[in-house]
Amino acid sequence: MNDQEGFAIAVEEAKIGYKEGGVPIGAALVSKDGKLLGRGHNMRVQKGSAIHHGETAALENSGRLPASTYKGATMYTTLSPCDMWFVITAQPLSIHSLSHAHAYNTIQRTVPALVSYTASHGSRFLGGEAYLKQRGVEVVVLENAECRELMERFIKEKPEVWNEDIGEEERVHSKEEK
C-alpha cells in the first residue's frame, strides 16, 4: 500500500463517519512494509465517548501488536493531529521518548490533510504537529480539498458537535443565549 492508497482509506473512513452523523475524521495506520494495520473514524458521537478520535480509533482497531510492528509505520489522517491523538497514541507507538534514541522516530510519518484549516476557535492544531516534529516524526501536509470541504460542511451543520470535539463550548453557549 502506498501513500495514496493509505490516505484514500482515511478519507473513506471520514465519509463513513459523516454518514453515521458523527465527526467526519478518518485515519489509517499502515506498517513500514505497506500493510494496513488498522483503520477507523472518530466515534465520539456514535459511542457517546470523550476520547474516540479518528486516529485513536485506527490504533485501537489495529489490536495489540508488538513494538516492532509499529516501527516505521505511517498514520494517515484527514485532519491535522490534535493533542488528543498525540497523547493517546504516543506510548504504544513509542513517540513519547525524546531521550531514548531507540524509541525515537518510530512512527516515521503522519499525513494529515488539513493542517492549515482554521478551526472555529481560531486554532490550527499546530500543537499536535509541533509535538510530533519535535520527536522526529515526519509530518506531511496534503491540504486535501475533499477533506477540507467535508470538514467545513460538517462544522456548518453541527458547530456544537465540532466544538465539543475540540473542547470548546462558546458556540454552544451563544446558541443557547439566542
Ligand X SMILES: Nc1ccnc(=O)[nH]1
- Residue numbers annotated as active site: 55
Whichever of 23 and 29 has its CB closer to ligand X, that residue is 23
Among 37, 39, 42, 117, the residue binding ligand X under the rule CB under 6 A is 42
Looking at residue 154, its amino acid is: F
Min dist CB 137 to ligand X, Å, is: 14
Q: Is 131 in the site for ligand X (CB under 6 A)?
A: no
Min dist CB 56 to ligand X, Å, is: 7
Residues 6+ apart with CB under 8 A from 162: 23, 119, 120, 154, 155
Q: Which of residues 45-104 bind ligand X (CB under 6 A)?
A: 53-55, 77, 79-82, 85
**Residue among 39, 77, 73 nearest 59 (CA):** 39
Shortest Cβ contact with ligand X: which residue?
Answer: 53
Give the chain's end-to-end CA distance (angstroms, integer). Answer: 50
162: alpha, beta or left? (left if phi > 0; alpha if psi -120 to 50) = alpha
Min dist CB 85 to ligand X, Å, is: 5
Looking at the DSSP bridge assignments, the partners of residue 112 are 77
Residues 6+ apart with CB under 8 A from 87: none
Min dist CB 10 to ligand X, Å, is: 11
Residues near ligand X (CB under 6 A): 23, 25, 42, 53-55, 77, 79-82, 85, 165
